Amino acid sequence: MSRKQVLRSDPGQVPVPGQAPADDTGCPILHVDMDAFYAGVELLDRPELRGTPVIVGAAGARGVVLSATYEARRFGVHSAMPMTRARRLCPQAVVIPPSHGKYAEVSKGVMEIFRAITPEVEPIASDEAFLDVRGAVRRLGSPARIAALIRAEVAERHGITCSVGVASTKFVAKLASRHCKPDGLLVVPADRVVEFLHPLPVAALWGVGERTEQALVRLGIKTVGDLAHVPASTLQREFGAVGAHLAELAWGRDERRVTPHAPDKSIGAEETFPYDVDDPDAIRRELLRLSERVAARLRAGGHIGRTVSVKLRRADFTTITRARTLREATDVAKEIYATACELYHAAGLDRVRLRLVGVRVENLRPAGTATHQLGLGERETGWREAEMAMDRAARRFGPEAVRPASLVRPRFDGMDL
């Protein structure tokens, strides 16, 4: 299936002469995937970097790549790669620290576009989701036309691009969106699924990790087509239940439905230090930074939460977690930070070397359900309003525009001095 079909499947693109539109009959499943999401959002504030290698992630020795533009990916850079290796592969890349509150806000807006089209939306990450659009066809047109509408709305409202796969099943739709990246639209007609699948490498199948791929290759199975022609009983004997699952996928059979997810149950953030830290003041500053990030993400998502937890990983990789349930739910960084510091102190690690700390808020509910009751003589603090003003400043001027005074300090290799 060629790139020309990607263009022809999009009603907003110029037709390819002599080629009929792809048939989307019986293809109600869409997989929408933002293109290099974090990097794309960062470039909204740094338009001069468009067309250049950009990496989003912590720049320290232990940092990892969260996202990379396609210009950086051409050098072999990919998400989850250690930052030190990414810098060796692409030394000319500009590294931008992540702005998680900003990503949460854009993600919320993108999901609102999806839900305006159909209630059948299954987010599988902040930057991708499955949609079942069969109920929207009469109102908005064919699945391919709906996919084109989504791409246009995302670009117009948020200034980023996405790729959309249109197919008869979730599995094939996800493969299609990957196949047409970046900024593409691909319809896999229901009667051409096998033609699309069988030339693909066997690693394209869900459930085929590195070890399974190596085992399949040892058996002479390199493509999906090779796998499809191995008896299901043989695959099940070699790989158990996974083998039976792969046999079904190899012929495009996937019975799973699009299932709208329940609301997020928790929101958190964590940081791996570039070197082990035993200074309680430095730990508390990082807890403050993480509490600010988590609170901003809570507000961006319209959540409040009652349970605050901290994650503390020692230099020997031993991980300790502590949690406390508050009297009332909150999205205020000051309250989250105070609780996180108390939990850190209670863990008895004040002078223990740590390599990672994290803050998480759980037991979430919609922010509009807050029922704070003032005690006799108690006054509103105004902290939430102040932090919302900080959110607005960050959206307009960048995440570093307004910060607590304790975080306005010199930094060395990603750490406060």
Nearest to 353 by CA among 275, 277, 405, 294: 277
Looking at residue 4, its pLDDT comes to 35
Considering the chain, what is the average pLDDT of its residues? 85
Kindly report, residue by residue over 317-370, the tens digit of the pLDDT: 899 999 999 999 999 999 999 999 999 999 999 889 999 999 999 988 887 654
**pLDDT, mean of residues 369-381:** 45
pLDDT band per the 50, 70, 90 thresholds, residue 403: low
Kindly report, residue by residue over 206-229, the tens digit of the pLDDT: 878 888 888 899 989 999 999 999
- Of 195 and 100, the structure prediction assigns the larger pLDDT to 195
- Domains annotated for the chain, with CATH where assigned, are 198-250 (1.10.150.20), 266-416 (3.30.1490.100)
Considering the candidates 105, 128, 335, 387, report the single residue annotated as catalytic.
Answer: 128
Looking at residue 73, its pLDDT comes to 97
What global pTM score does this model have? 0.67
Q: Is the pLDDT of residue 25 over 60?
A: yes
Kindly report, residue by residue over 282-298, the tens digit of the pLDDT: 999 999 999 999 999 88
Q: Is the pLDDT of residue 13 over 70?
A: no
Phi, psi of 104 (to 5 degrees): -60, -40
For residue 105, indicate whether it is catalytic.
no
Cα-to-chain-centroid distance, residue 156 = 21
Looking at residue 388, its pLDDT comes to 63
pLDDT band per the 50, 70, 90 thresholds, residue 53: very high
Looking at residue 412, its pLDDT comes to 40
Q: Is the pLDDT of residue 15 over 80?
A: no
**pLDDT, mean of residues 247-254:** 92
Looking at residue 280, its pLDDT comes to 94
Kindly state the percentage of the chain with pLDDT values over 70. Answer: 82
- Of 245 and 152, the structure prediction assigns the larger pLDDT to 152
Looking at residue 109, its pLDDT comes to 94
**pLDDT, mean of residues 135-140:** 94
33 labelled ligand-binding? yes
Kindly report, residue by residue over 27-48, the tens digit of the pLDDT: 999 999 999 999 999 999 999 9
